[in-house]
Amino acid sequence: MVQQVLYRALVSTKWLSECVRANRIGPSLRVLDASWYSPGERDALQEFRDRHIPGASFFDIEECKDKTSPYELMLPSEAHFADYVGHLGISNDTHVVVYDGDDLGSFYAPRAWWMFRVFGHRTVSVLNGGFKNWVKDGHPVTSEISKPEPAVFKATLDRSLLKTYADMVENMESKRFQVVDSRSEGRYRGTEPEPGNEGLDPGHIPGSLNMPFFEFLTEAGFEKSPEEIRSMFQEKKVDLSQPLIATCRKGITACHIALAAYLCGKPDVAIYDGSWSEWFRRAPPEHKLSEWKRNKA
């Protein structure tokens, strides 16, 4: 694998708090709350309105998606993404820091991180530890809603970081890419149900390996060290020098795989955006491995 200088994928709460205190949040540094929760669990937008990092804007993943797709939370078009983040005051020269309020420390933030990268923006970081640790560390919060001056953002889709259903079907034959599924072992194997009411049975794509995304996080909600992460990949016999595709339920927690590999110096992990949500609905029965029907019987 060719080593290259990578933009820092993580920033600390201490570093960001110093930026807030120095009034550096502005055109050159924008902070986004990318929280999302299942309907009926928590209200991400209301929680943002109640308290957030000073100067942060709300990144609404339900608005920044392809609303015409039958699948869950698919990428928007280049024009849609450019317009959406431009209205948040983000230009191609802006350093973007993303976080979310999940109790794990990080859940949706890596998806936002990957979205910027797949649209050609490299100066983007995840707040290590998330809002949970921002609050725990005693850093300031506010309910004041900032109104950033709109900026011009040019989005250019990097197709090397994105895989489609057709790509996954082709990979079934060529096996050019390793495939890693970031869902829990039970959902991957089909011994526990998929959450929600979308009619999805659990299971996985043949040939894919399972690395639950939450195992990349410490109990306190921080990313594990590159050394620990590298050992985790080695244990699963995932070769970081070779091409890799990450998948999950809807292309969200798969981005934790991409972030983890990035921290090990591998910036080219592709995401299967449709993930199991699309694969379950489109793939023939023999290409869906699951213990679910046996268990229900």
Provide the annotated active-site residues.
248
The widest CA-to-CA distance across the chain, in whole angstroms, is 62
Integer CA distances (angstroms), 8 to 73, 117, 127, 133, 292, in order: 26, 13, 11, 19, 41
Tell the residue number behind the tokens 């929600």, with chain if given. Answer: 196
Quote the strand ranges of the chain, DSSP E. 10-11, 29-33, 57-58, 95-99, 124-127, 162-163, 178-181, 209-210, 244-247, 270-272
The CA-based angle 218-222-228, given to 5 degrees, is 55
Q: What is the DSSP string of 223-288?
A: BPPHHHHHHHHHHTT--TTS-EEEE-SSSSTHHHHHHHHHHTT----EEESSHHHHHHHHS-GGG-
Would residue 15 be called left, alpha or beta, if left means φ above 0 and alpha means ψ between -120 and 50 degrees? alpha
Strand 178-181 with 244-247, pairing: parallel
- Rounded distance between C-alpha atoms, residue 108 and residue 102, angstroms: 8
Helix axes 165-174, 275-282, angle to 10 degrees: 80
- Those residues with Cβ within 8 angstroms of residue 99's Cβ, 6 or more apart along the chain or in another chain: 31, 32, 33, 34, 53, 56, 106, 109, 126, 127, 130, 131, 134
